[in-house]
Chain A
Amino acid sequence: MVAVIALWCVAALAIVAASATILGRLAVGTPIIYAGSLVASLVALAAALAHLLDPHAAVATLTLPIGVPWLGTHFRIDPLSAFFLIVTNLGGAAASLYALGYGRHEAAPLRVLPYFPAYLAGMNLVVLADDAFTFLVAWEFMSLASWALVLADHRAPENARAAFIYLVMASFGTLCLLLAFGLLAGPEGGYVFATIRDSHPQPVIASLVLLLVLVGAGSKAGLVPLHVWLPLAHPAAPSHVSALMSGVMTKVAVYGFIRIIFDLVGELAWWHSLIVLALAGLTTVLGVLYALMQHDLKRLLAYHTVENIGIIYIGLGLALAFKANGIDWAAALALTAGLFHVLNHSIFKSLLFFGAGAVLTATHERDMERLGGLIHTMPKTAFAFLIGCIAISALPPLNGFVSEWLTFQAILVSPQLPQWGLKLMVPSVGALLALSAALAAACFVKAFGVTFLGRSRSHAAQTAKEVDRFSLSAMFILATLCLLAGVLPGVVIDILAPVTQSLVGSVVPKHAGPPWFSIVPIAESRSSYNGMIILLFLVISGWLTALFIHRFATRATRRSAIWDCGYPDPSTATQYSSSSFAMPIRRVFGTTVFDVHERIDMPRPGEMRAGNFQLKVFDPAWRMVYGPLTRLVDTAANRLNALQFLTIRSYLTLTFSALIVLLIVVAAWS
């Protein structure tokens, strides 16, 4: 039943996409398309939520006789896909609602409208797919639809470059997944997931599959060093699409990883988790450090997605480690932490991209160095964005803190792991996670402080107008969800229970309901957290304080000029800017982590020319990984170029010898 509904929603999205090619030419087309996407997403969201909440829900499967003749097209909704359907369609619905307002400013609607519902349909199909063929087709469809959206503003040369890099990375990722499925299916070609699930792969195959999936799904999710396309492509798209790419598509990639590794491969050795944890820890810290160095608001958010993907993968890696050692309850805890963060990140990252989009609409500016003071001109956007900033910085009482807290709890039970490798790896990852949590707060003080606070650095920022009601309502709905998931985390944990039950065979104890919505992941004496009580305490103590002040002290207030130690400077350029805010951290980590090129040209005393300071921060992944890689490809291409100018005899000889070699390989293999 639920599979049918979900597929009808996908079909509806496809129809909307097709009709957009015609409707997009009309002025009324834009709202119709987005309203259609909104309804389809909401229906799918409701169906998935009902399925996951229903304790008697069976796994729903559906086979359509289309696609590859001997295979058909298989769909399946189990708790894992139901959860990711929720994440996908929540993001999709919010983005559609936002776009009802935001989409009106689109210069060339036909470059966005057909691809947007298609993109949503593609992401839904990935989550629904139950055979390798459907999965890969849907995956590629999702990639291509988003690629088209990245190119929506195709005249900017940096967008063309971003789209090209994205296309290369996405194709490479899909290739890796293709090979992974090929290995899993084996020589018999059992491409249906059920068959793969029953055939327990050899350890060597499992290891290869893990590596391939880490590259394939990891490049889509943004694991360091495969993240380089992400901060280029995500900001290039229109903001509601950026929100989907950062908030939802990276989660679909995480889904791909969980589906293949936890569900299809099933049994992995403990050292596999070492690889995942090492990559995750690295991703977490590098992601936030690079985010701190950005002054383009959307690029900052995109880089920060990399950090959050790292946090999610820390949870997944820990779950793998616990699962390999048979400590199921701890695996359930770690997996719950990771999945909770999946939900959280999809909510607040979408919210933040919506906010960035609102700023872009109002000021036509993404560069934070030219913004400032928007809290006065766009108070509602500022408030919603602030909620997102608090949530993503993992501060109580909002939701980001809960998932990080759960991850910390999972790390703290890991001394139970017997292997030495893990005993050394897990605390290192814990230290990196602690570091990234604090850096994230610095990053979002900068993002909010430079963009929304202070004095306006440009005319555009000074004269900005608050955005429309649709955009605002989308932002406020997501902000409310941030608060709700933060104060009632038990509800989310309970929703996740069937997912962890199906994947690692254990659940975190039930939480919803009394006593007082407290969450207790392991035992009462061990750790507990109650977001609701904390929020209540904060409200009461803040209120008491205000009451005391107003009752027993004075409320007298006077407005006056800025003091600034007696030397206020009227120029807005003397404020702390984005790069000056990040300077101390750049100095601290600069030598080890970044490629920082600073050029200071200071006139000597008496010289009348202006001083000059230039700063360029490069992502060292380009230098360390992709530079050598492109050089290697170039060299190989140059060498192979010689093959282009041979005689017909040489070509025949080459073909023949290739055939012989292949036959020998096949003979040796079997």
Chain B
Amino acid sequence: MRPVLVGIVTALVLSAAIFLGSRGLHNFDSALAPYAIASVFLAFGIAYRYTVWISSPGARRLFRKGWGAALSWQNLRRTPTALPRMIATYLGFQKFLGARSRARWAAHQLIFWGCLLAAAITFPLTWGWFTFTANTGAGPQYTMNIWGFPVVGFNALSVLGWLLFHGLDIAAVLVIAGATYFLIRRMRDREASTGQRFGYDLVPLLALIIISVTGLLLTFSSVALHGGGYEFLAVLHMAAVVLTLLYLPFGKFFHIAQRPAAVGMQLFKYTEHGEIRRCRNCGEPIDTTAYVDNLRATMRDLKLDFDAMAEVCPRCKRLRRGQAYRTTVKPGF
């Protein structure tokens, strides 16, 4: 029940923000209504799924500790740059992906920045938060308004104007390049294809490519075909986007909402106290004391009564078991 309530509240808050930001729907573009409605459902879905996720013992504890570490005044004073640095390296430039594979890092960066650019343009547009107005009917001098307040004036024929009006085309090119790499990898590479599932692994890539290609075709239609087929393409593009937004909280895309937990985990692990817990048996460092204590509490929540084992390093666990087998099960093999 709680996840549903959190979802409904989030959806209502977004609806209110759309209403206020579009000046009482005055700036709301009704042609884009399906996108805006889908984003309200998306808000519900993300909040619902997120609440379900953090209700499991492991995630719940890490969620609390992570936010505690992120908002801790002591941490901020001790390492003021830790949080912004981690946000940039983990969430923005995804350095950890480079440690997995450079090619995958590059492809993922293309998708990431492409999607971010597209989201930064389309969500405010469909919510009626961004509007473009011109004093003369046909331009070329335009003013960009946010929430009805004029922010920047530009010439539609200038480079800035071109970039502003073709931002989504640029995003589509980035996403197509990245997603195509991953799609080919999923078909050819056995590391990727081992245990892959169509709905979980392939549908997200296909969705990104379909959205981007239909989006580019809209531009192609208006530039080269004098709008030929535009309405059909617009419906196709809209259907692809709406279905993807609705799918987002329940499949692979949910990692977008989960990944920031890496920052919380890292902050909690390495900046909170810094004291290291060592293996009870051999003295090798295991993890930070705060983290091991947190894990033991999680294990007790889950009724995994062997939580004391968390204070023994993996190798000593194996040696203990092997030596016990050799002593009591098959003596002296």
State yes or no: do A and B come from one complex. Answer: no
